[in-house]
Amino acid sequence: MISEPLYKKYFQGLISGDRKGCHDIVQDLLDQKIGVYDLYINLFQRALYDVGRLWESNKISVAIEHLATSITEGLLNLSYPIIFSSERVNYSAVVTCVEEELHQIGAKMVADIFEMNGWDSIFLGSNTPSLELLKLIEEKKPDLLCLSMSIYFHLQKLLETLALVHHSFPELQIIVGGQGFRWGGIEEVSKLNNVHFVGSLPALETFINQA
């Protein structure tokens, strides 16, 4: 359990660029056997959402937002000994951001959750060109494709990518998610064949368990 004082200490370290201080807090939590979901949702995700709100209200600069994201992305690696210790289940998922989308940390968390559940996650990161994505799907033949959209402005590009993937791989199951859907788009993607909107990490866990 992450106490409010500890969260505030971590958050202040994050926006001030105190990489070592944030590292020490996370490592101490892991030494105390904190659950990965607790860490991801109640520390990393909560802090990044708070950073986003500060940026949207012009209370911090884009440079500080990038700094907080960079620190968080590095801290995710501390949990990897736990994540990669899971028994394999012989399923694979390609996890990537929609073309032109530069925010990849949410997708990286999704890839980690798949790994923790025994899947092999093929994480491509940000701004993956749609045609290159098609080539990789043909090569890797994953059981699932996961597309992240952090900015609503990229909805049209997401819909175009979904159409391309469906044309080439009509049976491939796809999940979509990301903060961009706060502003809309759920209705458009939910009516597409084999496309599922997953709005949170707990919802992703439920989806994986039912797959």
pLDDT digits (tens, 9 = 90+) for 134-149: 999 999 999 999 999 9
pLDDT confidence tier of residue 41, bands split at 50, 70 and 90: very high
Neighbours of 188 (CB within 10 A): 17
Contact 127, 101 (CB under 8 A): yes
Question: Is a pLDDT exceeding 90 seen at residue 175?
Answer: yes
44 token code pair = 């990393």
Q: In this structure, what are the phi and psi dihedrals at residue 101, rounded to the nearest 5 degrees?
A: -85, 125
Res 1: pLDDT: 78
Q: What is the mean pLDDT of residues 69-79?
A: 96
Q: What is the mean pLDDT of residues 191-200?
A: 95
Q: What is the mean pLDDT of residues 156-163?
A: 96
- The CA-CA-CA angle for residues 187, 136, 74, to 5°, reads 80
pLDDT confidence tier of residue 3, bands split at 50, 70 and 90: very high
How does the average pLDDT of the chain come out, rounded?
95
